[in-house]
Amino acid sequence: MKLSLGFSPCPNDTFIFDALIHHKIDTEGLDFEVFYDDVETLNQKALRSELDVSKLSFHAFAHLADKYALLDAGSALGFGVGPLLICKNEELVNSEKLTMENSPLWVGIPGELTTANFLLGIAFPNLRNKQVMVFSEIENALLSDSIDLGLIIHENRFTYMDKGLYKVVDLGSYWEELTGCAIPLGGIVINRKLDHDIQLKVNRLIRKSVEFAFENPTSGIGFISSHAQEMDEAVMYKHIELYVNKYSIDLGTEGRKAIDIMFNMAQEKGIIPAVTKDLYVTK
């Protein structure tokens, strides 16, 4: 049986899925047609129900829980891993323009349905002038003065200072102080139309793939590097260490609690609709 599988070309995802898609583990009769896309493209594909299994931002998943269920394996949660709001003009750090009712500032965001944008809406609800762009283009947009603020994710958190840009706020730290929980960034979801046994099998295989990667950390280096061509190898490993952890093997009670808190908070603020179905693939 072949399933369509979407994940990003970022090192954390290629690290997780290398063993699965290259049959370094027993895939129990399953094959995967792989699509490499940035997270917002994957969010949009899921809205159209194009993929059987996909990486999604948790913000997007909140709008899609009727179509997809969340797997316990493969997620990106953690401490110190959140999106950063940055700027070129240091005067904007602690500026009243950030909180004024009709802020004139324009923010480059990596997607409407990203968790990053969700957190921005909680921390700075008055920053309403938003321009959606591919996450890797945000730094250059700041440098060219196309935008005033940039909401960065992934490896850009390691490179922005080298380009003379400044941190306004770490939204991951903001979340941690607010809730005491790890920040849920993205998870792996599966189409609810698939048989329950297939859902459980896919979860099992992704867990085995992550465990294989941890046990054999250099096994997928060629594959990972091929999708991170402009990234320094040291940065690539920092990226993996930051986003792949115990929650990537299994969400566990702590991981599920963080997700539930995020969803409850977002529902109370009217950011997402009420979710009526169980979020998770149950055993």
Q: Is 56 annotated as a binding residue?
A: yes
**Tokens of residue 83, six digits:** 């999106």
Check if 2-78+184-268 and 84-179 are the same fold: yes
pLDDT at 199: 98
Instruction: Note whether 117 and 149 are within 8 A (CB).
Output: no
User: Is 0.95 surpassed by the pTM of this model?
Assistant: no
List the structure tokens of 164: 């003379």
- What per-residue confidence (pLDDT) applies to 44? 92
The annotation status of 57 as a binding-site residue, yes or no, is: yes
Domain ranges of the chain: 2-78+184-268, 84-179
Report the alpha-carbon distance of residue 61 to residue 55 in Å, rounded.
10
- Check whether domain 2-78+184-268 has CATH 3.40.190.10, yes or no: yes
116 is in an annotated binding site: yes
Given a contact cutoff of 8 angstroms between Cβ atoms, the answer to whether 171 and 116 are in contact is yes
Residue 258 has a pLDDT of 95
- Assess whether 154 carries a catalytic annotation: yes
Which amino acid appears at position 52 of this protein?
D
Tell me which of 23, 59, 154, 239 is the catalytic residue: 154
Reading the chain (283 residues) residue by residue, the pLDDT tens digits are 999 999 999 999 999 999 999 999 999 999 999 999 988 899 999 999 999 999 999 988 989 999 999 999 999 998 888 899 999 999 999 899 999 988 999 999 988 888 889 889 888 988 999 999 988 899 999 999 999 999 998 767 778 999 999 999 999 899 999 999 999 989 999 999 999 999 999 999 999 999 999 999 999 999 999 998 767 788 888 889 888 999 999 999 999 999 999 888 888 877 777 877 789 998 7
Percent helix, strand, coil in the chain (nearest 5)? 45, 20, 35
Is the distance from CB of 16 to CB of 209 less than 8 angstroms? yes
Q: Which architecture does CATH list for 84-179?
A: 3-Layer(aba) Sandwich (3.40)
On whether 115 is known to bind a ligand per the annotation, the reply is yes
